[in-house]
Amino acid sequence: MEKEIGFEMAASNIRFGRGITAEIGMDLKDLGVEKAMLLTDSNIAKLSMMKTVTQSLEDEGVDYVLYDQVRVEPTDKSLKDAISFAINNKVDSFVALGGGSVIDTAKAANLYSTYPADDFLLYVNAPIGKGKPIPGPIKPLFAIPTTAGTGSETTGVIIFDLEEMRAKTGIASRILKPTLGIVDPLNTLSMPPMVTASTALDILTHAVESYTAIEYTNRPRPERPIYRPAYQGANPISDMWAIKAMEIMAEYFFTAVEEPGNEKARGMMALAAAFAGVGFGNAGVSLPHGMSYPVSGMVREYIAPDYISEHPIIPHGISVALNAPAVFRFTGPSNPKRHMEAAEALGADTRGIKESEGGELLADTMISYFKRFNIPNGLKDVGYTEADIPKLVEGTLPQHRVTKLSPRPAGPDELAGLFRDAMQYW
């Protein structure tokens, strides 16, 4: 195997500031769009931020059609509905107002309305899908996040539940990244405590997983540059964004959850999400995310506090975080120094701790967050038992896009042990 010799960096343009949501109409008018598709979910559609967006579009005379049926934690079925809406309305641009589910749905509607495919799995990551490269450029997409967590406003990644598998999968390409991410702290003020904590844990795991991922030089070199994956492994530039995201988390996480009206804390967490998005959008995530996909896809009855949902839901940030302490204990020996550095960036006291204990310290630091914010105590608290482990392992194994970025290989036996360790932490 010829080893990789280079890496690429790609991220959306980002605009940050209090109240900048109101600029969206000017952006679309200046771009010369004729008809935009405005995507959101049924809950955000009722909030004042939606009025800000629609008023801005109307003030600038921008024609738009509203799609407010985005499913929180989208499925292939819900994506297809949004795609059909985009095609039927002949839109030439997209505006996504919402969390990662809304932004990812907008990316899918953009992709498949630009390059329709008889086989929905054509662009889906292999081995679940065919993993074909996107043929060319897509339409403009403006992403306005209302949560501080996914970083989807910076990345070229779509995550969704493939219903027939009862597990998450995705599409990853630099071409999918939004034209502009509009990060407005005012849009996150309405998040209730558990939504704030869950999305913040997504920031945390994005940053730590990308920082501790396999180094890009240890991956195979692609036959052609177009096949170089969006997730390339840790590299010097992604490291910088990931560490900074962790440092912001350590300073503002507690305040954002416990003082929800604190605009500065909300704004800094929104920035942390974007910073982590730039990091993991190029380095990638690893085992905690790979293991999270069957955890959220196989949910039976659990509905997280503060989430308004007609269906059972383990929010993405929680489904990832619940696996993370077990994983970081496992991967710690592969690069103790990096695990120690991540723990320190997250606020851990490293005095008197041996570098070889970096993985344990990182895991314990995460667990301290769980306890403070009443995050479930492992997988058992969201409805799983050890009898579920074989199915959870089965759902993780095909997630090569992320699992192969682990700095320590994990086959079926190792994954079973990790799920077992993640059942309960204290």
321-365 pLDDT tens trace: 999 999 999 999 999 999 999 999 999 999 999 999 999 999 999
Q: What is the DSSP letter of 218?
A: G
Residue 18 has, within 13 A of its CA and on its CB side, a CA count of 8
Every domain of the chain and the residues it spans: 20-183, 193-421
**Please, which pLDDT band fits residue 226 given cuts at 50, 70 and 90?**
confident
CATH number of 193-421: 1.20.1090.10
230 pLDDT more than 90: no
Tell me yes or no: is domain 20-183 CATH 3.40.50.1970.
yes
Q: Order across the sheet with 180-183: list the strands.
A: 13-16, 180-183, 141-145, 93-98, 36-39, 64-67
DSSP class of residue 43 equals T
Q: The tokens of 108 are what?
A: 């899918």
Which 8-state DSSP code applies to residue 232? -
> Taking residues 197-225, what's their average pLDDT?
96
Residues 144, 186 contacting (CB under 8 angstroms) = no
Backbone angles phi, psi at 313, to 5 degrees: -155, 125
Euclidean distance between CA atoms 216 and 4, whole angstroms:
7
Per residue in 45-96, pLDDT (tens digit) is 999 999 999 999 999 999 999 999 999 889 999 999 999 999 999 999 999 9
Residues near 330 by Cβ (< 8 Å), separated by ≥ 6? 287, 359, 408, 410, 414, 417, 418, 421
User: What SS3 class is residue 71?
Assistant: coil
pLDDT for the residue numbered 154: 94
Which helix (DSSP H) or strand (DSSP E) does residue 420 occupy? Answer: helix 412-421
Give the per-residue pLDDT at 165: 82
SS3 of 280, please? Answer: helix
Task: For the chain, report the end-to-end CA distance as a whole number of angstroms.
Answer: 43
**260-294 confidence digits (pLDDT tens):** 999 999 999 999 999 999 999 999 999 999 999 99
Torsion 366-370-372-377 (CA) sign: negative
User: Backbone dihedral region of 331: left (phi > 0), alpha (psi from -120 to 50 degrees) or beta?
Assistant: alpha
Tokens representing 111 are 């992709």
Residue 23: the pLDDT is 98
